[in-house]
Structure 1
Amino acid sequence: MKLAVISDIHSNLYALMKVLDDIDSEDVTSIICLGDLVGYGCHPNEVISLIKRRNILSLKGNYDASVIDNSYTYIRNTETNSFSLPWTFDELRASNKFFLSSLPTSMTLDFGNRKIKLVHGSPDKINEYLTEDYENLDAIMNNLSEDVLICAHTHMPYIKNFNNKLLINAGSVGKPKNGSPNATYAILEIYDNMPIKAKIKSVEYDYNKIIKDMQLNKFPSRLINSYESGIE
């Protein structure tokens, strides 16, 4: 089977639409979202509606949880978030707040004889940054009972092998931080008695569309510029 994993859409409808078009061309069996559907961008309701319409199984991200609380529960109190958090809370429909609140924070899926752990941040914390050089990666993977750990949250994609285990960071659909404006997501090919194949895909989209919408809504220039630079 083929599994597509997306994450950190952050209210960027245009990036999500383009990524879903790319996923459709890959003929995947299922799509899973690791959370942070909202925050930063200006289309939170539209993003959630599309996720619902496509019946995409989703987790709750740290930004989603903070928007539900309308507080800096799991996000930093920064100049950007001081605008983005209340704006998103006010913009989000009550039904979509309920949808976000109902999402799980992790899940484990069985594919034949393989077990895959899916989280937003880490198996321990919704907002833990599992960067590629994170000092606790070895300990986290040694303690993992599943065969594969798939995370996001850092907005920086990578694939790493740990002996017989696999760690995948799916990156970010809507707000990458790897120096490119392109959306990223992960694809896994899982078949019995064969090694799991994983790859990161980079997808171009017209980021000028969301920049224009953010300008019309008077979003901070630093936040707007990050969509073009791919840097926080």
Structure 2
Amino acid sequence: MRLAIISDIHANVEALRSTLAEISTQNIDHIICLGDIVGYNSDPAQCIDLLRELNALCVAGNHDRAVTGQLSMEGFDYTAAKAIRWTRRNLSSDALEYLRTLPVEASIDHHLVAVHGALHPESGKEIVRLNNDECRRLSFEALVVHPSRARLCAFGHTHQLGIFEFRDGFVQQLKGDQIVLQDDGWYLINPGTVGQPRVADRRATFLVFDSIDKRLTVHRIDYDTSVPFAKTRTIAILPIWAFLPQFVRDSLLRLPRPIRNTLKWIIKTVGI
């Protein structure tokens, strides 16, 4: 079985279309989406429609559940909450019902367990981030005793591509774009993000898992990032310089307000 694993689309239909075009060349049996189909960008309905047309197996992310009202917006920053409210107003009742029925955890036979955030919490699997060794170890412990008997758990939420291995009592992050899984190992895998990158590399990323070869392959996809950013700025969901890498945005926030306002005017004027 060959599985394409994607996550954190965040209503970026240009990124999703480019990703699905590449997936169509990979002889894939099933597409697994790890949640956050919506939020931040301007095409949530189109993204939902594409996934439904392809019969993708999806779990719910925190943004998906916040849009449906199943999760409080407490803890979401101003920008995320603004996008959630906009999305809620602009989705049909059918699309909202689709999001509402997504599970927070799903198993694909004995091959893989899918969650948005983390496997170990009894509740809030879509909220917890596996962004440190302690949390990853807790999810590894949950994977070892999981009733599916899967040795692979796919998660998203951090927007950071990563493959982590638990063997002989030790956890390590594996490097490389081709990883062969060991029979005595357990694995936490994050495909990164399709539509909301938070690093300098703006490409969409996804993983392909081949259960026969026991191999994970990283894929990176170029697309025109200016299109979704322009649309999103037009409807005023994202800050005007949201297209910049996080470290640049952090530096800009330390500038005096008059300088920041001037930079915003320049970006609007030249249409970056």
TM-score above 0.5: yes
Q: Deviations over 1:41-87 (max 9, x none)?
A: 000111111111111111111110000008x6266231212321211
Distance 1:226 1:220 in 2: 6
Residue in structure 2 matching 1:153, options 145, 157, 160 = 157
1:226 deviation in Å? 3.0
Counterpart selection for 2:223 from 183, 199, 205: 205
The 10-residue stretch of structure 1 (116-125 or 4-13) with the greater mean CA deviation from structure 2: 116-125
The range that moved more, 1-10 or 141-150, is: 141-150
Give the match for residue 167 of structure 1. 188
Give the TM-score, by structure 1 length: 0.88
Other-structure match for 1:95: 94
Partner of residue 261, structure 2: none
Shift of 1:126: 1.2
Please report how far the alpha carbon of residue 153 of structure 1 lies from its aligned counterpart in structure 2 after TM superposition: 0.6
Match of 1:188? 209
Q: Conserved in 2, the CA contact under 8 Å of 1:158 and 1:200?
A: no
SS, match of residue 135 in structure 1: helix
CA-CA distance at 1:179 after TM superposition: 2.8
For structure 1, the 5+ residue unaligned runs are none
SS in 1 for 2:83: helix
Partner-residue secondary structure (3-state), 1:201: strand
Note the alpha carbon deviations across 1:85-112, whole angstroms, 9 max, x for none. Answer: 21111111111000100111111122xx
CA distance in 2, matches of 1:3, 1:57: 10
Asked whether the 8 Å contact 2:129–2:135 carries over to 1, the reply is no
Taking structure 1 as reference, are residues 218 and 60 closer, same or farther at Cα in structure 2, changes over 3 Å only? same
- Counterpart CA distance in 2 for 1:74 and 1:152 is 19
2:75 counterpart residue number: 76
Q: TM-score when scaled to structure 2? A: 0.76
Amino acid at match of 1:120: H
Change (3 A) 1:18 1:230: farther
Following superposition, the deviation at residue 221 of structure 1 comes to 2.5
Q: How many residues align?
A: 222
**In the superposition, relative to structure 1, how do residues 90 and 30 fare at CA in structure 2: closer, same or farther (>3 Å)?**
same
Distance 1:148 1:201 in 2: 18
For residues 231 and 223 of structure 2, the distance between their equivalents in structure 1, rounded to whole angstroms, comes to 15
The aligned runs of 1:20-39 (5 Å cut-off) are 20-39=20-39
| Identity rate, percent | 28
RMSD: 1.9
2:79–2:239 contact (8 Å) kept in structure 1: no
Render the CA deviation track for 1:11-42: whole Å, top value 9, x for unaligned.
Answer: 00000000001111112121111111101000
What pairs with 1:106-145 in structure 2 (closer than 5 Å)?
Answer: 106-110=105-109, 114-123=110-119, 124=121, 125-131=125-131, 133-144=132-143, 145=145
